[in-house]
């Protein structure tokens, strides 16, 4: 059997390549997989085993669409974006992890992957760190008998499901914060930004805005929903659209909306940057990630520019004042950048 993943625009990440080399030798007809790239290992399994059902799951809608485009020549491969592993009984699960990954998310993914396995099914997990000690201890919680394949650039573990989990851990969290005179409740999960705490940037963003009666607000990259929910609580006549490309973030925001008994918030899974009809909103809010060479920040800004009515205001919280001051003035009028504790707030008005 050929143990290399066919090259198709993008090669697989190291851990995913090594994972494929191991699972190519393992049986499996109902297969679930995650991917650090574009679903390369799952695609190769679908091609090699046309009689099997192979599903690749992503948390992020933007990456999901890239994977669908990447794997378009393999229509038998199912590609899904959702909060959790698809609700199927699998006999083989592939989980590539990164040494730079979030520990609590890794624990969550391992536990839920193990739960999806039928008795006797196999969980195969890789990490791009051949000197790993942490991950194997997490796997030994489920079975002390873990098979190990070590490579120069990664290690792959596999174990069989011999018994169900007696007491699964709930790694979600409910927390509360006060905004003005109201106590606001949030739900967070591993994989959602600022899990288990209110992000200070979100706090500064809320402190920087006023919500006027009847205002139409857009929260871009809503995360757990702190800003969208906080803004909606300020005035019930205002309407808020909260969007995120992370399916878990959308799920957490929806639960937060329910906990706070709000009727003026709509939550949408969307990684396109296009939110309904253009020029619809009076204010667009965002807390762009502080990485990616400003590529994500640029997407936030242009999504806001498209979505705002002429005269509408964009308000962002960030830590790079000079870049925002330079970039926003290319697109917005009345640009202001000012400090807010350990952050900065940038705002601008969409020209007529």
Residue 1 has pLDDT above 70, yes or no: no
What's the whole-number mean pLDDT along residues 314-329?
Answer: 97
Residue 50 has pLDDT above 80, yes or no: yes
Residues 107 and 79: beta-carbon distance below 8 Å:
no
Residues 220 and 212: beta-carbon distance below 8 Å:
no
**pTM for the full model?**
0.95
Confidence of residue 293 (pLDDT cuts 50, 70, 90): confident
Nearest CA-CA partner of 210 in 234, 227, 237: 234
Could you report the per-residue pLDDT of 216-243, keeping only the tens digit for each? 999 999 999 999 999 999 999 999 999 9
- The whole-number pLDDT of residue 327 equals 97
Nearest CA-CA partner of 206 in 223, 192, 188: 223
Could you report the per-residue pLDDT of 126-177, keeping only the tens digit for each? 999 999 999 999 999 999 999 999 999 999 999 999 999 999 999 999 999 9
Residue 9 has pLDDT above 80, yes or no: no
The whole-angstrom separation of Cα 219 and Cα 177 is: 18
Cα distances (angstroms) measured from residue 207 to each of 25, 185, 199, 220, 345: 56, 17, 13, 17, 10
- At 57, give phi and psi (nearest 5°): -110, 140
- The whole-number pLDDT of residue 291 equals 74
- As a whole-number percent, the residues of the chain with pLDDT over 90 amount to 95
Other CB atoms within a 10 A radius of the CB of residue 142 amount to 20
The whole-angstrom separation of Cα 260 and Cα 183 is: 9
- The whole-number pLDDT of residue 262 equals 98
Could you report the per-residue pLDDT of 238-291, keeping only the tens digit for each? 999 999 999 999 999 999 999 999 999 999 999 999 999 999 999 999 999 887
Close Cβ partners of 232 (under 8 Å, ≥ 6 residues apart): 217, 238, 239, 240, 257, 260, 262, 264, 265
Could you report the per-residue pLDDT of 11-41, keeping only the tens digit for each? 999 999 999 999 999 999 999 999 999 999 9
- The whole-number pLDDT of residue 275 equals 96
Residue 3 has pLDDT above 90, yes or no: no
């Amino acid at each position: 059997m050929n143990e290399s993943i066919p090259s198709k625009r993008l090669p697989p990440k190291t851990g995913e390549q090594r994972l494929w080399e191991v699972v190519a030798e393992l049986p499996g007809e109902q297969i679930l997989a995650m991917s650090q790239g574009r679903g390369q290992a799952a695609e190769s399994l679908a091609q090699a085993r046309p009689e099997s059902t192979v599903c690749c799951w992503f948390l992020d809608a933007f990456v999901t669409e890239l994977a669908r485009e990447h794997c378009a020549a393999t229509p038998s491969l199912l590609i899904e974006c959702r909060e959790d592993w698809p609700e199927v009984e699998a006999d083989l699960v592939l989980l590539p992890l990164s040494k730079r990954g979030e520990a609590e998310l890794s624990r969550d993914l391992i536990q839920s992957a193990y739960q999806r396995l039928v008795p006797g099914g196999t969980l195969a997990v890789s990490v791009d760190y051949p000197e790993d000690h942490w991950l194997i201890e997490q796997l030994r919680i489920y079975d002390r008998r873990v098979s190990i394949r070590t490579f120069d650039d990664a290690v792959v573990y596999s174990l069989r499901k011999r018994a169900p989990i007696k007491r699964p851990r709930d790694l979600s969290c409910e927390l509360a914060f006060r905004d003005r005179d109201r106590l606001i409740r949030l739900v967070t999960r591993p994989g959602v930004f600022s899990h288990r705490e209110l992000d200070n940037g979100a706090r500064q963003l809320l402190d920087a805005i006023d919500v006027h009666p009847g205002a139409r607000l857009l929260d871009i990259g809503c995360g757990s929903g702190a800003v969208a929910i906080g803004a909606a609580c300020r005035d019930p006549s205002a309407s808020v659209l909260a969007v995120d490309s992370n399916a878990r973030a959308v799920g957490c925001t929806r639960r937060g909306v329910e906990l706070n008994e709000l009727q003026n918030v709509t939550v949408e899974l969307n990684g396109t940057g296009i939110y309904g009809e253009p020029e619809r909103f009076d204010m667009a809010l965002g807390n762009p990630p502080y990485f990616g060479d400003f590529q994500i920040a640029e997407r936030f800004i242009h999504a806001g520019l498209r979505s705002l009515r002429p005269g509408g205001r964009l308000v962002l919280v960030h830590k790079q004042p000079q870049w925002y001051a330079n970039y926003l003035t290319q697109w917005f009028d009345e640009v202001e950048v000012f400090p807010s504790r350990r952050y900065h707030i940038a705002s601008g008005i969409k020209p007529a």
